[in-house]
Structures are given as structure tokens and as C-alpha cells.
Amino acid sequence: MTTVRLVSPVAGVVRALADLPDAVFAQEMVGPGLAVEPDRVGRQDVLAPCDGVVGALHPHAFALELDDGRGVLVHVGIDTVTLRGSGFVLHVDRGQHVRAGDRVLTWSPVDVAAAGLVTACPVVALQGEAADLVRLVADGDRVTAGTPLLDWSAG
């Protein structure tokens, strides 16, 4: 059984997906995981939560494709697609291999909050099973970028 450790893409406070004001994440429609409410800073790097190849890539979200076919989504804020990339800077290209902790993009949680949007960053095991995830942190825990969040096992 292969286990992938997912680390926090940002510094902040851990929250349950169920607490997010977005049914797709709250009901785990795309997969289980958790969210990190980022520190309210003017500029913050968002890091790769694990090793993988950048699949889907948008200014506000990215998915990593793992060697074994699994995928991990990091969504930077909720409804941030409405910003059309404004305030987000990408540092990688689609198809690029990244390692856990590599900088993927930079954004401003302060600016996103000022736009009236939720800044929580879901980290989702795409099409995963909740039973295959082991949480390494509890809701309300403060984490730094790179802190282990989840272990995802698959056969």
C-alpha cells in the first residue's frame, strides 16, 4: 500500500471541508480533505502539498497528478475564479514536475478578503475515499506552510 503525505500549502488554521460555504467542497463531491484558513497577509506563497505533475492549472487553483494516478487539488480561496486571475501570480507551468514544498503561486489573502470572498484553501484528495485519509492535524490547529496535514493510503 502506497501512502502519500500531503503538507499544508499555506500557513494558517485548519478547518473541516464541511465548514466551507461551498457545497462542492463541504459535501466532498470531488473528494475528501481539509482546508486551511490562511494567515491574513499581503503576499503569501502557496506550496505544492506533495510531489507530482501540475495537471490542471488556474491562477486560483491547481491539481497535481501523482505517479500512481491519484490527484490532489488545492483551491486558493472560494469563488476566487470570479477574480479572473487578478492578484494571483503563477510560478509553474502545466506539465511541470514539482516536489512537496515547491512554490506554485503567490496571492494576497488580504485582497481576496477585501473582495468579499472566503480565503480558506481546500486541499482535496481527488476522487479519494475518506477512509483512506489519516488526518495528522485537528480542526483549529495552527500550521505553517509545509506542515504535514494528511496521509493518503491507496492499494
Which residues are marked as active site?
75
37 contacts 12 by C-beta, under 8 angstroms: yes
Name, in order, each residue with C-beta under 8 angstroms of 154's C-beta and a sequence gap of 6 or more.
1, 2, 3, 4, 68, 70, 128, 132
Name the H helices within 27-144. 109-114
Return the DSSP state at 137: S
36 contacts 143 by C-beta, under 8 angstroms: yes
The Cα 73–Cα 22 span in angstroms is: 15
